[in-house]
Structure 1
């Protein structure tokens, strides 16, 4: 396992494109979150804005790049034929799968943590000047607050889970372009469908099972009891999507002749 993980890390870090993509995860998460924090305003008591969630808006954009990195981790090996070399060097294919999962998770947790905590740092600095003050019912943003900490940690875990979802789908379809399309479809199709359907029960169900809608509920710190699904339960939905994709992808990796 250690040899396989080292091999996967070598493949990931020696591709210059991956370095730029990982930088993109951090930059987009941080820049978009900072831009929203610097433009949002709260001009009166009870303005209803969730300051923490606003600062974490960049996660919604950063997840797209996370999905691309994860898909390419397996998709590039299929497109170049490198997967034949990989399974020849590591015949136990589940070891190949677990090593990819371990390396991808570690990298995404690190990149996600930098982007997420950087976004909260910027938000904590600029939002008081945008009206998010004690006079308007907002305390200074701090990781000592359990709700803010949960939103931060949950956002980092969400990005890592989106990466695992992308990896699983890439192993299933063996095509980078197709896998990226499927992942982005899963993320953004459900919210669009929710806007089209008018039945409130169906809307609530879609929000509960949609990976992005359910997963990003972990960022909410105001009106948590009004969410269609709880913060940690929502993150659990994303974990189930990722686990399902990896289970199917792992089974197909074992059964197919690469």
Structure 2
């Protein structure tokens, strides 16, 4: 397994695309967080905002870049045919998928940590000027930050599983982005409160992003860590489907 991990890590770090996408995810996440914090405001009567969640708004954009990276890791090999060489060298196809998951998750966690830390630092610097405070030592804020890093890693694993099933970059990206952004739109157009609540509880993105909430947690359709668990189940299901397809279908 060590050799498989080394081979996958060598492929990931020697190709320019993944590195650029990770840097892009960091920059876009922090930039959108800065814009959200800079735009925070209240009507004359005053209001309360979730400072941590506002600062982490950029995760909504960073997740798309992470998803594209994960899809490219698999679909790129199918596109140029190098997957045949990979599976010939490593007949245990489950080991190949596991190695890809491990070597992808590590850099995404690191990039996510930098992006989230940068977003919270920007929020801490900008929000007081808008009349709001962000306490970086608060337990709920720390949970929102740590949960956001894990959220990005789980999105990457979800996309990796989907890409292993469809084996096509355009198709994989379309499916994953649809899963991440279509469900939130559906929750806004559904008129039945019960169905809206259920959608927020089972959708990978809306459930997973509950971990960012620090105010009004008791009113959420699903708890912060439970919501992240829902996303983890989606990622596990996608990886299981990918493993089955990888085993049963020819390269």
| SS in structure 2 of the partner of residue 222 of structure 1 | coil
- The whole-number CA distance in structure 1 between the counterparts of 2:126 and 2:183 is 33
The answer (yes or no) to whether the contact 1:42–1:132 under 8 Å persists in 2 is: no
Q: 1:32 to 1:77 in 2, by over 3 A?
A: same
TM-score, normalised by the number of residues in structure 1: 0.94
More divergent stretch after superposition (197-206 vs 5-14): 5-14
Alignment partner, residue 217 of structure 1: 210
- The whole-number CA distance in structure 2 between the counterparts of 1:44 and 1:255 is 63
Paired residues in the alignment total 251
- Displacement, 1:240? 0.4
Runs of 4+ in 1 over 4 A off after TM superposition: 42-46
Alignment partner, residue 98 of structure 1: 98
Alignment partner, residue 32 of structure 2: 32
Q: Deviations over 1:185-221 (max 9, x none)?
A: 1111111111221000000000101111111010000
Equivalence map 1:117-132=2 (5 Å): 117-132=117-132
- The whole-number CA distance in structure 1 between the counterparts of 2:44 and 2:128 is 13
| SS in structure 2 of the partner of residue 234 of structure 1 | helix
The answer (yes or no) to whether the contact 1:73–1:167 under 8 Å persists in 2 is: yes
The answer (yes or no) to whether the contact 1:38–1:126 under 8 Å persists in 2 is: yes
- Displacement, 1:43? 6.8
Unaligned runs of 5+ in 1: 134-139
Q: 1:43 to 1:130 in 2, by over 3 A?
A: farther
- The whole-number CA distance in structure 1 between the counterparts of 2:92 and 2:44 is 61
- Displacement, 1:41? 2.3
Output the aligned Cα RMSD.
1.3
- Displacement, 1:241? 0.4
- The whole-number CA distance in structure 2 between the counterparts of 1:247 and 1:46 is 49
- Displacement, 1:48? 2.3
TM-score, normalised by the number of residues in structure 2: 0.97
Unaligned runs of 5+ in 2: none
- The whole-number CA distance in structure 1 between the counterparts of 2:85 and 2:93 is 12
